[in-house]
């Protein structure tokens, strides 16, 4: 193993989903939000629509009486529950020469928030976002574009690269491209798998 690709939400970020949190905070039914997330938001994820513009059409229905920028602040800032132990492991892996990448289904504003506010640009060697690639996991184009970029930089074959995601369908998609893909459940399982493929001197469990 010479490189690892990490997922963001559900792995690096363990926060409750935005829609779940919002419906509880503002006492509105989840059915009120589903048309947005099942429709326009999917285009936002791949850069075909602008999140601010699409959200502006739903503010009244969602009982939000402030500017859309304030809604984004609520969404992004309240939606952080970073996996500190895993982040520390990534830093240790990088120190030992393992390339670390992020692969995330996120639209451009939240991707930018992760880069600038959470410092993911310093944590990872590269960040692959659905907004930038104009496709999302588990679509084949996502893996193809991501691997092309990684291999151009590192010359690594796909079997030297691990892929981690909490969503099983994304793991299945990665396996089709020859990646050593694993479904993330918790840090203990992650550490056990990593320790099994690294030389003992590179064991990062401590």
Q: What is the pLDDT of residues 87-141, one digit of tens each?
A: 999 999 999 999 999 999 999 999 999 999 999 999 999 999 999 999 999 999 9
64 and 102 assigned to the same domain? no
Top pLDDT among 168 and 78 is at: 168
Q: What is the pLDDT of residue 199?
A: 65
Domain end (from 52, 77, 102): 77
What H or E segment, with its residue span, contains residue 126? strand 126-129
Is there a single domain that holds both residue 23 and residue 10? no
| pLDDT for residue 12 is more than 80 | yes
pLDDT value at position 62?
95
Torsion of CA 53, 103, 136, 106, to 10 degrees: -20
Q: With beta carbons less than 8 A apart as the criterion, state whether 2 and 161 touch.
A: yes
- Looking at the structure of the chain, the number of domains it has is 2
173, with CB counted inside 10 A (0-12, 13-18, 19+), is buried
- DSSP-derived letter for residue 37 is H
Confidence of residue 198 (pLDDT cuts 50, 70, 90): confident
Domain that holds residue 165: 3-14+82-202
175 and 193 fall within a common domain: yes
Percent pLDDT > 70 in the chain is 96
* ω into 138 cis (within 30 of 0): yes
Residue 12 Cα distances to 38, 48, 90, 98, 171, angstroms: 24, 26, 10, 18, 16
Q: Are residues 170 and 97 in the same domain?
A: yes
Instruction: For the chain, give the number of residues.
Output: 206
Mean pLDDT of 186-203: 82
Q: What angle do CA 179, 180, 181 make, to 5 degrees?
A: 90
pLDDT at 197: 85
């Amino acid at each position: 193993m010479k490189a690892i690709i990490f997922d963001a939400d559900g792995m690096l970020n363990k926060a409750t989903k935005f829609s779940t949190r919002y419906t509880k905070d503002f006492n509105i039914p989840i059915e009120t939000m589903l048309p947005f997330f099942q429709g326009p938001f999917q285009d936002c994820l791949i850069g075909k629509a602008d999140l601010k513009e699409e959200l502006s059409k739903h503010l009244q229905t969602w009982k939000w009486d402030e500017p859309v920028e304030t809604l984004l602040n609520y969404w992004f800032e309240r939606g952080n529950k970073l996996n500190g132990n895993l982040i520390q492991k990534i830093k240790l892996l990088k120190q030992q020469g393992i390339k670390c990448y992020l692969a995330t289904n996120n639209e451009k504003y939240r991707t930018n928030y992760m880069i600038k506010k959470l410092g993911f640009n310093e944590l990872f060697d590269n960040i692959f976002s659905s907004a930038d690639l104009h496709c999302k996991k588990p679509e084949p184009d996502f893996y193809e574009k991501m691997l092309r970029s990684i291999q151009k930089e590192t010359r690594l074959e796909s079997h030297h690269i691990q892929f981690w995601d909490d969503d099983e369908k994304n793991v299945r998609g990665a396996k089709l491209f020859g990646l050593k893909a694993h479904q993330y459940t918790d840090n203990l399982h992650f550490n056990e798998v990593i320790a099994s493929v690294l030389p003992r001197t590179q064991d990062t469990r401590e």
